[in-house]
Amino acid sequence: MSDAMANGQQMLTTADGKPLKQALARAQSHAKRRAFLLVLPLLAFILITFVAPIGQMLKRSVHNDGFTMHTDIGSGVETPIMVNLKGWFKANPAGTSPDEPAYAALAADLVELKRLRAPGQAGTRINYELSGSRSLFTKAARKADKLEPPYKQALLDLDEDWGDPALWRVMRDASSAYTSNFYLAAMDRTRDLDGKVIMVNENRQVYVKLFKRTLFLSLLITFLTFVLAYPIAHLLAVLPLRHSNLLMILVLLPFWTSLLVRTTSWMVLLQSQGVVNDTLVGMGILGDENRLQMMYNQLGTVIAMTHILLPFMVLPLYSVMRPINPSYVRAARSLGATSWTAFRRVYFPQTVPGIGAGALLVFILAVGYYITPALVGGADGQLISNLIAFHMQKSLNWSLAAALAALLLGGILILYWLYDRLVGIDNLKLG
C-alpha cells in the first residue's frame, strides 16, 4: 500500500473512508469465519463422538497397564503394582538372570497383588504373550503370605515355571505400560530372550496370513464387481434416460435394502438345501448326494460381498460413462477401426477414472467388512475385522485387537487419502 502511495496514486477507499484492500480483507475473513462457524458444530460433534473414541481405542495398542496399575472398580482408586519387581528390572539390564533379590521383589509384589485381589489382571497381561502364565500368578498369589526366604527356592518349589527366562523377559517388557509388543504380535512376531524381534512359531502364525487373505479376497471382490458392473453401467449409459432410469432401480434397490436382508437372502440361496442347489439337482445337473458347498467358506463370502458391493462400482462407472460422447466411437469406426479396437483405444480409456473411483471405493469397503463374512464366511471366509471382533469379545485381548485395528485403519486411511487425491471426496455419489 505504501508503495502505491509513494507512486502518488490515489488510494482506493470505501464509502466510509477505509482503505479498500483492508475492508476487503476484513470482509473476506468475516465470510471465512462465518463459513467455518457453520461447520464447527458438526466438526466438534464428529471429533468428540468419532475421532476421539477411535484415538482412545488405538492408544490401547501401545499402552496396557495390566502389569503396572491396579484400578479399584468400586472407588476408582489407582494403585501401582509390581513396583518392587520394576525396581529390580531398572537396576539390572535386560538379559540378567534373576537372582535372589529379584525373587524377593516378586514375592513382595505377589503379597501386594493378593491384598488388592489383582493377581488375575497381572497374570492376564503376561498371559497375552506367554500362554499359561495366568494360573501361575493366581496360584502363587494365593500362597504369597506363606512364602519364606530364600524366595527363589520357595517360588521354584511352587512352580518351576517361575525360573523360565521367557517369563522374565515378558515380565520385564510388561513392567512398563507402554509397549510395541502388541504390534509385533499382530504381525506374527515376538521377542527372544535378548529382546530381538523374531517370527513366532510357524503353527502360531495367523495374522499375516489373515491380512494376506483379506487383501486377496478384497482384490478378488473388487475385480469381480468391475467385471459385472462394466457391462451394465455401459448399458445404462447408452440407453435413453427413460429406460435407463427404470433399469437403474434394479441397481439402487439392492443399495437401499438392508445389508442383513441381502446376507440372509444369500444364505437362503446358497445353503446345501437351498434354492440354487435344489434347482441344479432338479435340473439333473447335480446329483442329490454331491450338492455344492457354497456357504460357510470363502466362496460364500466372495459371492455375497460381490453382490453387496456391486452398486458401489456401478454408480461411479455410470456417472463417468453417461457424458461420453458417442460420436468419438463412431469417428473411430468410420476411420476403419473394428468395434473391438474402437472400444479398446477410444471408449475404454475414457472410462478409466470411473474404474479407479469404483475400484478404490469397493476395495476400501471390502477390506473392513464384518457382517457378511461373520454370517456366511464359516471358518476360512473370515476377514481381519472378524478377528478384531474375536479379540474384543471372546479372547478379551483388547490391546491386540487395537493393534490389529490400527494396522487395518492405517491401510484404509492411505487408500482414503489416495481416493481423495485421485477422485475427490466431493465426487462421491449416492444414486
* 375 binding other proteins? (CB under 8 A): yes
* 392 touches other proteins by CB under 8 A: yes
Binding status of residue 343 toward other proteins by CB under 8 A: no
Asked if 385 is part of the footprint of other proteins (rule: CB under 8 A), the reply reads yes
Number of residues lying near other proteins (CB under 8 A): 92
Strand partners, 218: none
Using CA atoms, how far apart are residues 165 and 172, in angstroms rounded to an integer?
A: 11
Stretch binding other proteins (CB under 8 A), from 62-70, 188-196, 250-258, 286-294: 250-258
DSSP-assigned states of every residue in 63-107: B--TTTEEE-TTT--EEE-SHHHHHHHHHS-TTPPP-HHHHHHHH
Please report whether residue 268 would count as binding other proteins according to CB under 8 A. Answer: yes
Residue 371 lies near other proteins (rule: CB under 8 A): yes
Instruction: Pick from 95, 150, 165, 431 the residue near other proteins by CB under 8 A.
Output: 431
How many other CB atoms are there within 10 angstroms of residue 254's CB atom? 16
Question: CB of 42: closest distance to other proteins in angstroms?
Answer: 4
235 lies in the binding site for other proteins (CB under 8 A): yes
Contact 20, 26 (CB under 8 A): no
Express the helix, strand and coil content of the chain in percent, nearest 5 each: 70, 5, 25
CA dist 208 and 185 (Å) reads 10
- Residue 337 as a binder of other proteins (CB under 8 A): the answer is no
Question: Could you tell me if 249 and 330 are in contact, meaning their C-beta atoms sit under 8 angstroms apart?
Answer: no
Judged by CB under 8 A, the residue of 45, 178, 216, 348 near other proteins is: 45
**Piece of the chain touching other proteins by CB under 8 A; list 88-96, 112-120, 122-130, 238-246:** 238-246
Among 167, 251, 313, 329, binds other proteins (CB under 8 A): 251
Task: Give 118-150 as a DSSP string.
Answer: -HHHHHHHHHTTSTTHHHHHHHHHHTGGG--SS
Is 47 a binder of other proteins (CB under 8 A)?
yes
- Interaction between residue 172 and other proteins (CB under 8 A): no
Residue of 296, 289, 291, 287 whose CA lies nearest to 276 = 291
Q: Are 319 and 248 in contact (CB under 8 A)?
A: no
Site for other proteins (CB under 8 A): which residue of 25, 198, 249, 396?
A: 249
Q: Is the Cα dihedral 353, 355, 356, 362 positive or negative?
A: positive
CA distance 79 to 69: 6
String marking each residue 189-228 x if it binds other proteins according to CB under 8 A: ---------------------------------------x
Q: Is 253 in the site for other proteins (CB under 8 A)?
A: yes
Span 269-328, contacts to other proteins by CB under 8 A? 269, 271, 273-275, 278, 307, 310-311
**Does 356 sit near other proteins (CB under 8 A)?**
no
For the bound state, the minimum distance from the C-beta of residue 54 to other proteins, rounded and expressed in Å, comes to 4
